[in-house]
Structure 1
């Protein structure tokens, strides 16, 4: 029996007989789960017990129901009208990281960049220190080809395991992901449940020193202790987004309680009571000013999801 497309009327009854073992909750506020601390609710939030549970859930779910994966919510604007369908959040069962040989790590889709880089250090695996600087989880890194400090996921990924929207489990090599700058060709509704990264042999002390250098550089240049969403816009070819924003006079620009950071102009802040409409609207104000000043059309790096 398939889960109904009309979730509110029929989902609970279906769930009782489906054999799904995870936690399914309705009308869950997403603001507490995202870094901006703003936005609406998920129609349904599903936290699967394990990969088999997720595959069964998606396989039985009516194909008309939209599905979105949620990690730490660090690079995300959830619009104020909320997210229809099902939001999938990977918990502790998906957060393990292990060294499988002298240069290779297998990482759960829910593992943080800090955990990945720390495990690599302990195993003497160099080359993934940059993940220390990316706020988010492995699933998001893989989907968006996350990167920082001169490296990106495409440099270290060998393969990933994905549960497709149909419930099918597939293993995809890096070449199948169609990577480009902050983009992959992963299909809509697919959930990355694990990834394999390959680095190189390194000295744990040197790896820690590089992680410390990255952490210090972030602390000095980024508003890490604010309600923010990380880098807002992609760097256009030949330019730095922050420099274009600054040159257009947007440093400190506000819309309601949303503000362009004065510390790093490619970060937007929620000063307290900003709505997602304020934050996204401010981003569009910045894009318009940069286009008028420099002729460059900035592209969003932050994902914007849900309905207004």
Structure 2
């Protein structure tokens, strides 16, 4: 192994710490925490308007002139119930535009931590009491559940059962939109997957939007993609870490995309420095030992690229562009 050569390989972080997670807010949403506060798992941190709209209102001459960002409360339409709530946005020709709505849903934190920053209409940032496994993208709503190993290959909807309710499933390869929708319906709290195509993502988000339009309050559910859209297996280092976390409570957040765990006594051994993973090309997803950098070589299409020799588990060696390699630290 050439120590100088392996340092040319791009580095990926296996575990991130500390983790500052941001919960996005829209105009009209109401934060109910302040910077510096401690929050526990499941604590409400804000109220989100389910069906927000922008209305225009006159201000009575005797009323105090509001400021942008101030809270607004409307009159109750019937009975003793409270009226619509919202947030003053801006004044236009003597009238105020207000972001308002009739129904609110709570935003809850799926992990314990300290509130770092609160910006109404923008977001709430919380520093998690734990560490995280970074992904490349996540969508859905922040969620929490017991980590459970799923299918080794592609997870199909028929492979789900009610015993998976309340869990976050780890899928070694890929899932489709139908499986994601069925998983949510069966009470699964989240999916951790190596790759997810753009089409499957669009189909699932479209299903989510239709359910929200029907005024259904959806339980927390998130999908964390660790690698991207290419179909390949999880790296050995990530699989080992997820295996150590199996059966424990974890959380998925979307900004940044990450799996958060609070296990201070869990010792994580760093992978060998010469263990590399091929992230593109015909051998994408395979791992091996970095032998040496060998300089420019000609590859498919006539491209001349800096290359390295990688020893694969089956005993063969292959020349791989250094730009197609990565290693975890």
Q: Which has the higher strand share?
A: 2
When Rg is computed on C-alpha atoms for both structures, the one with the higher figure is 2
What's the TM-score once normalised by structure 1's chain length? 0.26
